[in-house]
Amino acid sequence: MQETKKPRILLIGTGDTKADELLFMRDCIARAGGDTIKMDISVLGDPPYPAEHDKHAVAAAADTTIEAVAASGDENSAMSLMALGAANLARDLAARDAIDAVIAIGGTMGTDLALDVAQALPLGMPKLIVSTVAFSHLIPPERVAADLMMILWAGGLYGLNGTCTAVLSQACGAIVGAARSAVRPRTDKPVVAITSLGKSCLAYMVELKPQLEKRGYEVVVFHTTGMGGRAMEAIAAQRGFAAVLDLSLQEVANLLTGSVVNSGSDRLENAGRAGIPQIVAPGAIDMVDFPAWLPTPQELTERPFHAHNRLLASATSRPDDRRRIARAIAKKLSGAAAPVAFVLPSGGIQQWDQEGEALHDPEGLSAFVDEMRSAVASPVELHEIKAHINSKTFNETVLRIFDRWVDAGIVPAGKTTVAA
């Protein structure tokens, strides 16, 4: 978008019930220097203003009519159809370069629809949802777009008031500013994803990142504390990587052991489904994460424990849980439509599992390694190393596999800058 051009903001909401709020937002966007393009997602009523994309257009984008939507059964089925239409319409507008950003408002119903719209839009296009359930546990991780912004719509249930206008005005200023400032992801180099935790726990990216950059790749590292893994999965689903080094899998383990610190049920599946080659390792699968500000879950009170900070704490999972985790990892990898190599460091899988550290549990590690050996099946490559995941041997093994795949054309060659 050129600097002199006004940002074109797609404003989505139910104009029949939230006209006052939406018109207030239109005016806020104008004062901030943007132009508003309204999309009305009402079903039964009509807004007291014309919408550039009315409810009939939204229904048509779902290959139906608003009459059929209203007669579909209940408000859930009706809004699901409108969500399909809104996502298709927004995707088309973005593809035609007709919008620069999207903002939507809603309670649970409007948020449900807006999440679909956000996922339909490309990475780097600003997308903001003003919601009464912003980032609530009601929202499953699978529904959250990689670069989604949300703000809690305080006081936003019924009509305008000083509390909700304070929020709406901030949101409108934010989306116009984001549209003006956004830099879309563009690179002439193949992109490689790495998953990890902080280097105090998993240190391999300190060596792997510069080595891959020397080979001509752009490297993106994702922090696997729930939403980081979710972002990686969302981009992988859009085929945004040339290769994935998924070396930290404790989000998979967290889901299986009941922790809220997870990335959803499709973690470790989207790269394989999209045909992206993967090098995978079991970084930190022995840890069950939980909020440090809550009591330790009863089933973990007798397990080795580590408090990372005031937000996050971890305890080790039981040996039988680790066997279950190993089988789940192998099953997910078996469905991949591209080559997969699994690196199994039998000497340890995170910094604190070593002798003398808080999470040292040799019985649990042995159970996992034993189960993983038998669970991984061809065509997945199994590379067992008698070393720790934070060792030089681990890094060399990963790079050796990567380079072999580049030579074989499985991973596209990097683009290095040649000096004149």
List phi, psi (to 5°) of 343.
-100, 120
Pair (368, 239) in one structural domain: yes
Pair (153, 229) in one structural domain: no
**Is residue 92 a contact partner of residue 117, using CB atoms and an 8 Å limit?**
no
β 35-40/101-106 pair status = unpaired
pTM, two decimal places:
0.87
Per-residue pLDDT, averaged over 376-396, amounts to: 97
Which of 155, 181, 207 is at the close of a domain? 181
The one-letter code for the residue type at 347 is G
Confidence of residue 304 (pLDDT cuts 50, 70, 90): confident
CATH assignment of the domain containing 28 = 3.40.50.12020
**Sign of the CA dihedral running 176, 177, 178, 180:** positive
The verdict on residue 417 lying in a domain is: no
Pair (86, 202) in one structural domain: no
What is the total count of domains within the chain?
Answer: 2
Pair (202, 249) in one structural domain: yes
Pair (40, 130) in one structural domain: yes
Pair (362, 384) in one structural domain: yes
Q: What is the pLDDT of residues 80-135, one digit of tens each?
A: 999 999 999 999 999 999 999 999 999 999 999 999 999 999 999 999 999 999 98
β 8-13/35-40 pair status = parallel
Q: Where are the alpha helices (DSSP H) in 377-420?
A: 392-407
Pair (65, 94) in one structural domain: yes
Confidence of residue 4 (pLDDT cuts 50, 70, 90): low
Pair (204, 344) in one structural domain: yes
DSSP 8-state class, residue 141: G
The verdict on residue 27 lying in a domain is: yes
Q: Token match 């039981």: residue?
A: 318
Provide the 3-class DSSP secondary structure of residue 244: strand
Compute how many other C-beta atoms are within 10 angstroms of the C-beta atom of residue 152: 14
Please provide the DSSP assignment of 334-389 as one string.
HT-SS-EEEEEETT-SSGGGSTTSTT--HHHHHHHHHHHHHH--TTSEEEEESS-T
What does the pLDDT read at residue 135? 86
d(CA 258, CA 262): 9
Q: Which domain holds residue 391?
A: 191-407
Pair (18, 52) in one structural domain: yes
The verdict on residue 352 lying in a domain is: yes
Pair (398, 337) in one structural domain: yes
Which of 156, 181, 206 is at the close of a domain? 181
State the average pLDDT for the chain.
94
Pair (222, 97) in one structural domain: no
d(CA 182, CA 228): 20
298 φψ region: left (φ > 0), alpha (ψ -120 to 50), beta (else): alpha
Pair (218, 301) in one structural domain: yes
Confidence of residue 2 (pLDDT cuts 50, 70, 90): very low
Which of 138, 156, 181 is at the close of a domain? 181
CATH assignment of the domain containing 201 = 3.40.50.12030
